[in-house]
Chain A
Amino acid sequence: MISSNGSSRGTETPLIAGLPGPWIAIGMAVLLALYPLAMNTLGEDFYIGVGSRVLILALAASALNLALGYGGMISLGHAAFLGAGGYAVAILAKHGVVAAWIALPLAVGVAAAAALLIGAISLRTRGVYFIMITLAFAQLFYYLAISLPEFGGDDGLPLAARSLVPGLSLEGDLAFYYFVYFTAGLAFLLLYRLVASRFGRALVAIRENERRMAAIGYPVYRLKLMAFALSGGLAGLAGALLANLSMGVTPHTLTWHQSGILMVMVIIGGSGYFWGGLVGAAIFLILEETISGYTEHWNLVLGALLLFIVIVAPNGVMSLRERLRRLPQGTRVATIPACEEKA
């Protein structure tokens, strides 16, 4: 069928707009560095842990954003990479390897390798097929983790202590927050370099028009696969940090619901915007924490909110600035960055 969304394809997809200005980045970094100190002063240590969780899931969502927002690959299986990173850390710890400088890179490596394998097969398909095959792979991981006693089955694997960093104890909330802050900061820096590079631009161009890019000689499949593997690796890093935060990993990390939530975070923030993952994760977690304190029907609220966003602001919170700027001209905003070439 002739793609009916050819015409409605996002005209204001962020291309360069998806890059942060340096001052915003610095401001964000300072703000996030001061946040735990402020909480500590207020005596609200609980919110330091919440901050760590936000940063970790922001990293996971940003990793997905690389594949989904920049690369146009709608993966409904990113929970698999999150889980792969977490399980790598937990299994290493079980065998006595607790040094962060070994465990974390290995977790990234395992997740990236898994993404490379899954991507190599999945990227042969497109459209809905791609969504479904990534989902199927994640299901395979889930059943494997839950069935095998070596992986702790339903109970998952607990972590006796957080990963070891020489000269620093990660057991305290504050120390762990800064550990996450620096690790995630490095990852964001890498992400920035990637997105700003020729590679990143080529990726966005492929998202916009894959055939044209292939025609002018870009190795489309290889570039997409690279992006997918990098995205998986970064998700693995988030998984490794999450396992450290939660002191363990469970198969629940691998469920398709978790993949869906990561996607929701990206969309709330704005897919294809550099800060989309961070903003989305922060908004999602803050809303969850606040609303579920008042009602057990949090899922109802989340569902309604999500519908509202898809219909009213499909490019997420980060796109609001441009929307406001455009409003006087009465331009109607189109949909989320176009994602796949229809078969």
Chain B
Amino acid sequence: MIRKTCLALACASFGLASGAYAADSIKVGMMTTLSGPGAGLGIDIRDGFNLAVKHLGGKLGGVPAEVIVADDAQNPETAKQITERFIKRDKVDVATGVVFSNIMLAVGPAFFGSETFYISANAGPSQYAGAECNPYFFNVAWQNDNLHEAMGKHVQDKAYRKVVLLAPNYPAGKDALAGFKRFYKGEVAEEIYTKLGQLDYAAEIAQVRAAGADALYIFLPGGMGINFVKQYAQSGMTKKTPLFAPGFSGDEDVVKAVGPAMEGVFNTSHWYREMDNPANQRFVADFQKDFGRLPTLYASQGYDAALLIDAAVKAAGGKVADKAAFRKALETVKAPSTRGDYRFGNNHYPVQAYYLREVVKQADGSVSNRYVGKVMDGHADAYAKDCRM
């Protein structure tokens, strides 16, 4: 896969790190998770990004693009080493691709210290949105709390008044639930924290039933989410206590793993597949054609990251080496995107709309997400006020 990308984009092999500042090419370091349990997400980001580069004729901003792909294996140590390589040997102009926030936090300082632009196609840690915001960090996806906030608002608006919350027992889990509660003001019947990487959720499902709540919100990233949604859907509880989830727990990869039982699960996202804009139509159609699967929001984020880089390079007149000009371009350029309009806030995180999606049975009998409605418009994150930039 890597080699294919390399051939297509004529990526440099070992030791050919010269001429990084020549205006005739732009080097992108794509570090993402391609092996281990989280590989599906990284592969989607990479495929989305590469699809955009393909659509742009192998160029970004009219300049021939080299995409160097590396697998962080969801290991902060490995990621650290790749970062060093990107900066010191490959001398990339822009980096992107990290899926997980803990990896982002491990590699961020090295990118910022070397004044390498990092365009996050997923990880949106609160640190980099607030006090530790950085001129070289841009997030083209969403701040980690945003999807939870959107769902909190939806559940609040729909007048659910007794909610059970569920997350793994680690700080990110607590942050997620705090995000939900920022907009949900009703009663929290129960806050359940589970073991990280837990397999069986029968005990928690029984607790939800015993609590007699009228809605359940979960934050269970990765395999945990699939395990839970499978078991919850099969317990027949979705009818009694509807399940609300962040977009990534209701996305097409999860639907594919859970199957028809997933019908009726609500989730929030900044993007939905039916979005009516030319970039998105082309992305969705070609992604299915090229990869034989429905795109997830991760894939859309990878695609949007490439479109943003493209637009900014163009706006900066191809001069990526002029850091101030390139930053100005990234901040202000109106890049096309699969999600429609968005802009960056003062902390370089997007200010954008969030939507509600529901997993439904489609006309052809398959199960997938359908757009339900807009939950928030022009929403920024809660940390932007702490950012002095």
Contact = CB atoms under 8 A, between A and B. Distances in A.
Nearest to A288: B78
A299 interface: yes
A292 B102 contact: no
B70 A292 contact: yes
Interface string B121-152: 00001000000000000000000000000000
A292 B106 contact: no
Nearest to B175: A153
Interface in A71-114: none
Interface stretch (A18-26, A46-54, A265-273): A46-54
A15 interface: no
A45 B85 CA distance: 10
A293 B170 contact: no
Contact of A252 (B76, B88, B101, B110): B76
Given A147-B196, A246-B80, A248-B106, A153 B171 contact: yes
B366 to A, nearest CB: 30
Interface in B83-112: 84-85, 87-89, 101-102, 105-106, 109-110
Interface stretch (A154-162, A211-219, A274-282): A154-162
Contacts of B81: 49-50, 53, 289
A296 B106 contact: no
A44 B14 CA distance: 12
Contacts, number: 85
A187 B95 CA distance: 38
B169 interface: yes
B71 interface: yes
B3 interface: yes
B281 interface: no
A44 B77 CA distance: 20
- Secondary structure of the A side of the interface? helix
Contacts of A149: 171, 174
Nearest to A247: B109
B226 interface: no
B109 A294 contact: no
A152 interface: yes
B109 A155 contact: no
Interface in A112-156: 143, 146-147, 149, 152-156
Contacts of B195: 143
Nearest to B69: A296
A299 B74 CA distance: 13
Contact of B102 (A46, A143, A155): A155
A250 interface: yes
Given A50-B81, A253-B77, A154 B170 contact: yes
A310 to B, nearest CB: 22
Contacts of A147: 169-170, 196
A156 B3 contact: no
B2 A250 contact: no
Contacts of B2: 294-296
A181 interface: no
A293 to B, nearest CB: 7
B34 interface: yes
B234 interface: no
Contacts of B77: 242, 246, 250, 252-253
A296 B75 CA distance: 14
A296 B70 CA distance: 7
Interface string B17-57: 00000000000000000110000000000000000000000
A161 to B, nearest CB: 10
Contact of A154 (B70, B109, B172): B172
Contact of B171 (A154, A295, A296): A154
Interface string B170-184: 111010000000000
Among A252, A253, A295, max chain B CB count under 10 A is at A252
B80 A158 contact: no
Nearest to B88: A46
Contact of B3 (A44, A253, A292, A295): A295
13 contacts: A46-B84, A46-B88, A50-B84, A147-B170, A152-B171, A153-B172, A155-B105, A246-B80, A247-B110, A250-B102, A252-B76, A296-B69, A299-B35
Given A248-B105, A296-B1, 11 more contacts: A143-B196, A154-B101, A154-B170, A155-B105, A242-B77, A247-B109, A247-B110, A253-B77, A295-B2, A296-B71, A298-B35
8 smallest A-B Cβ distances: which pairs?
A: A153-B171, A46-B88, A46-B89, A153-B170, A250-B76, A296-B34, A155-B102, A154-B102
